[in-house]
Amino acid sequence: MWRQLRSRLGERNVACAGSDQPLQSRLGAVSRGVTETEIRFGMSAPFSGSAKELGRQMKLGVETAFNVINDVGGVHGRQVKLVAVDDGYEPTRTAETMKQL
């Protein structure tokens, strides 16, 4: 299963997901965004303004990869989810969205 995923996404992109080491020991005892059923990742990108197409395409790429991972059972049974927030490609907004995430 992981071999097929690695060949589709590239070894580097799924190295953590394909590790034999238990997820909790890699992440520590308690990690924000990690539950028994899902792992949430945050993304701050431009979804408005002149660079909105860049943000939309980046989000589409991440969601496509996450769908492939989830289709083969997720990461140790956990589904991966993306939380995306709009920073409008403005550094001051990026700082705020990262605090939000």
E strand or H helix that includes residue 38: strand 38-45
What is the pTM for the complete model shown? 0.68
DSSP for residue 46 = -
Which is more confidently placed, 15 or 72?
72
How many C-beta atoms surround the C-beta of residue 3 within 10 A?
9
Q: What is the 3-state secondary structure (H, E, C) of 6-21?
A: HHHHCHHHHCCCCCCC
Predicted confidence (pLDDT) per residue in 29-54, tens digit = 557 899 999 999 999 999 999 999 99
- Terminus-to-terminus CA distance in the chain, angstroms? 31
